[in-house]
Amino acid sequence: MLFGDTIALGPILPVDVPRLFQWADDAEDARLNEPYRPLNWHQQEGFWLNAERDPTRAFFAIRSREAGEIIGYVQISRIEPIHRSATIGIRIDRAERGKGKGREALRLAIDYCWSHLNLTRLTLSVFAGNETAIGLYATLGFREEGRLSAALFIAGNWTDVILMALHHPDRPAAAPAGGLLVISSPTPLCR
C-alpha cells in the first residue's frame, strides 16, 4: 500500500465491488465521465477484480486511513512501457470531495507512476465544465494540450473534452512533434 497523511492507496478488494458498482451506476455522477447507461453487475465485478491480468492498467482503492473504507479510486490505464506514458483518472465519493483527499491520492499515484512504473508522461481527459477537477489537475502540474469540441453528448448537451498532460520534471521530453532530435558531437558520427 501507498500511504499519505489521510488516505492510503491499495488494492481493490471484493468487498469494495458493491460501492464501486454504486458509483458507476450513479446517473448524476456519470455526467462527469460519460453518458449514463445501466450497468451489468458481473461485468463490473470482472472489470474491477481482474485488473492484474492486464499489464496496461493498475487500479487503486483510495481508503480513509481513519476508517479503512473505500472512498474512491485511481485508475492508471494505457500503460505504455516503451513510450513511458499512461492515462490517469480518479473518482472520489461525493461526501469526501473538497477535503484534499483527491489531491493527496493523485500525488501518491503520480509518484507511483514516476517511481514504480518509470513513466515520463501522464495524460487525462476532463469535461470542460468540470472546473473543480480542471483546477485540481492544474495545481498538480497538468497542462492543457488540446480540446475536443462538442465531443460528447452528455445529459442533453454537447460537451467539450479537455486533454491534459503532466511530464516528469526531471526527465527529458521527447523531440518536438515533426522535429528532429539534434545530437551535437565534437567529431562527425559518420566518415
Q: Give the residue extent of every domain in the chain.
A: 2-167
pTM for this entry: 0.83
CATH code for the domain defined by 2-167: 3.40.630.30
Q: Residue 139 and residue 8: Cα distance in Å, rounded?
A: 21
Angle at 92 between CA 153 and CA 66, to 5 degrees: 170
Q: pLDDT truncated to tens, each residue of the chain (191 aa)? A: 999 999 999 999 999 988 988 888 777 776 666 667 777 788 888 877 877 788 999 999 999 998 889 999 999 999 999 999 999 999 999 999 999 999 999 999 999 999 999 999 999 999 998 999 999 999 999 999 999 999 988 888 899 999 999 999 887 765 555 544 444 434 444 44
Residues 6+ apart with CB under 8 A from 52: none
Q: Are 49 and 17 in contact (CB under 8 A)?
A: yes
Judge contact between 73 and 91, C-beta under 8 A.
Answer: yes
CA angle 140, 104, 172 (to 5 degrees): 40
Active-site choice (36, 73, 112, 137): 137
Grid cell 490517469 is found at: 88
pLDDT (0 to 100) of residue 186: 43
Is residue 112 annotated as part of the catalytic site, yes or no? no
Amino acid identity of residue 138, one-letter, is: A
Residue count of the chain, please give it. 191
170/147 Cα distance (integer angstroms): 27
d(CA 121, CA 99): 27
